[in-house]
Chains A and B, each alone.
Chain A
Amino acid sequence: MLALDFMQRALVAALLVGAVAPLVGVFLVQRRLALIGDGMGHVALAGVAVGVLTGSSPVWAALIAALVAAVVVELIRTSGHSQGDIALAIIFYGGIAASVVIISASPKGTPGTLTAYLFGAITTVTQSDLWIFGALTALILVTFALLRWRLFAVASDEEYARSAGLPVLPLNLALAALTAVTVVVSMRIVGLLLISALMIVPNAAAQVLGRSFRSALFWAVGIGVLSAVGGVGISYAANTPSGGTIVLLAIGCYLTAAVGSALVGRARRSAHLEAEKHGHEHGPGCGHEAIPHDDHVDYVHDGHRHAPHLGHYDEHDPDHVQAAGEGDSGGRR
Chain B
Amino acid sequence: MSTGPGAVIELADAAFGYGERPVVSEVNLSIAPGEVVAVLGPNGSGKSTLVKGILGLADQFAGQVRLFGVPRAEFREHPRLGYVPQRHTLSGTVRATVTEVVATGRLSRQRWFGRFSAADATHVERALTLVGLADRARVDVADLSGGQQRRVLIARALAGEPEVLVMDEPTAGVDAANQHVLAEVLARLVAQGLTILVVTHELAAFADLVTRVIVVDNGHIQFDGPATEFNDRRQDVLHDHDSHHHDHELTAPARQVVPRSVDVPRPGSRRG
Contacts and interface: CB of A to CB of B under 8 A. Distances in A.
B92 interface: yes
B248 interface: no
Interface of A: 26, 29-32, 146, 149-150, 152-153, 155-157, 159-166, 203, 207, 210-216, 275-285, 287, 290, 292, 295-297, 302, 304, 308-312, 333
A165 B76 contact: yes
Given A150-B107, A279-B177, A207 B95 contact: yes
Contacts of A295: 138-139
Interface in B122-142: 129, 132-136, 138-140
Closest 3 CB pairs of A and B: A165-B78, A311-B145, A279-B262
Given A161-B104, A311-B144, 18 more contacts: A30-B93, A153-B107, A156-B101, A163-B56, A163-B83, A207-B95, A211-B138, A214-B100, A281-B148, A292-B135, A296-B135, A296-B139, A297-B135, A302-B270, A304-B272, A308-B135, A311-B145, A333-B271
Interface stretch (B7-15, B21-29, B108-116): B108-116
Pick the most buried of A156, A277, A282, A292: most chain B CB atoms within 10 A of its CB.
A156
B104 A284 contact: no
Contacts of A216: 94-95
Given A279-B176, A290-B135, A297-B135, A165 B108 contact: yes
A213 B100 contact: yes
Contacts of B107: 149-150, 153, 164, 166
A308 B136 contact: yes
A156 B105 CA distance: 12
A213 B262 contact: no
Given A296-B139, A302-B265, A283 B101 contact: no
B20 interface: no
A151 to B, nearest CB: 10
Interface in B50-87: 55-57, 76, 78-79, 81, 83, 85, 87
Nearest to B176: A279
Given A163-B81, A296-B135, A26 B94 contact: yes
A213 B94 contact: yes
B148 A311 contact: yes
A302 B262 CA distance: 12
B113 A280 contact: no
Given A153-B104, A284-B129, A308 B95 contact: no
B160 A333 contact: no
Contacts of B104: 149, 152-153, 156-157, 160-161, 164
B156 interface: yes
B81 A276 contact: no
Nearest to B269: A276
A308 B140 CA distance: 12
Nearest to B149: A311
Given A276-B269, A276-B270, A284 B101 contact: no
A154 to B, nearest CB: 9
B97 interface: yes
A278 B147 CA distance: 14
B165 to A, nearest CB: 12
A153 to B, nearest CB: 4
A284 B93 contact: no
Nearest to B109: A164
B210 to A, nearest CB: 22
25 contacts: A29-B93, A30-B94, A31-B93, A152-B100, A160-B104, A162-B56, A163-B78, A163-B85, A164-B78, A164-B104, A210-B95, A212-B97, A213-B94, A216-B94, A216-B95, A275-B270, A279-B176, A279-B260, A279-B262, A281-B147, A292-B135, A296-B136, A296-B138, A297-B135, A311-B143
Nearest to B262: A279
Contacts of A309: 143
B94 A207 contact: yes
A263 B262 CA distance: 36
B152 to A, nearest CB: 11
Contact of B57 (A162, A282, A284, A296): A162
Given A156-B104, A163-B57, A279-B261, A284 B134 contact: yes
